[in-house]
Each structure stands twice: as C-alpha cells, then as structure tokens.
Amino acid sequence: MIMIHIKENKCDFCGTCVAVCPVDAIEMAEADLKIIHETCIDCDICVWICPIDVLESRENPEEEVVND
C-alpha cells in the first residue's frame, strides 16, 4: 500500500502541508506531525508543497508504519 511517510528528524512544523491537505488528514502540534492514514486520500500534494522535502509517498514497508 502507498502511504505518506514522514522522514525522521527533518520536519520544521511549519504547517504548510496542513494548509493544503484537502481532507484535513494532517495533525500538527508544537513539535509533532501526524498523518491520519484513515482519512488520507494519497493525493501527494503535501509531499510537493513541503519546502524541505520531509514527506514522501512510498510503498509501506512494515518497519516504517507510522500508524496512529
């Protein structure tokens, strides 16, 4: 399955991805970013907009599951 993956220790918590997500599938606290995979429609626009390339869309290898 394709899933949005958050690269570790890279995010600046700026919220730009949150702003463009069409289905409100990203949660961002002060220093914590979560993709709500049940809501996510894999449109990838959060991947494109991130100024520093934190997000990637990829096949979901078990050890990388960031399911909340």
Partner 1 sequence: MTDFDVVVVGGGPAGSMAAWYAAKGGAKTIILEKDRDIGYPVRCGEAVSDAGLRQFVEPEPNWIAASISNIRMVSPNGTVIDTAGQALGYVLHRRIFDYDIANKAVQAGAHILTKAYVTGLLFDNGRVSGVEYEYLGEKRTLSAKVVIGADGVESRVGRWAGLRTALKLRDTESCVQFSVANVDVDPERIDFYVGHNYAPGGYLWVFPKGDGKANIGLGVVGSEAKHYKAIDLLNRFMEKEFPNASTLTMICGGVPVAKTLKKYTADGIMLTGDAARMVNPVTGGGIVSGMHGGKLAGTTAAEAVEAGDFSEKFFDRYVKGWNKAGGEDHARLYRIADAVDSLSDPDLDDIAASLSKVPQEKRSLLKIFTTAAKKRPSILIDVARAFAGF
Site for ligand SF4 in 14-53 (CB under 6 A): 14-17, 21, 23, 25-26, 28, 33, 35, 40-46, 50, 52
26 φ, ψ to 5°? Answer: -125, 130
**Shortest reach from residue 56's CB to ligand SF4, in Å:** 10
> Position 2: which residue type?
I
Query: Which of ligand SF4, partner 1, none sits in contact with 29, Cβ below 5 to 8 A by type?
Result: partner 1
Query: How far, in Å, CA of 9 to CA of 21, rounded?
Result: 21
Among 1, 8, 9, 51, which residue interacts with partner 1 (rule: CB under 8 A)? 51
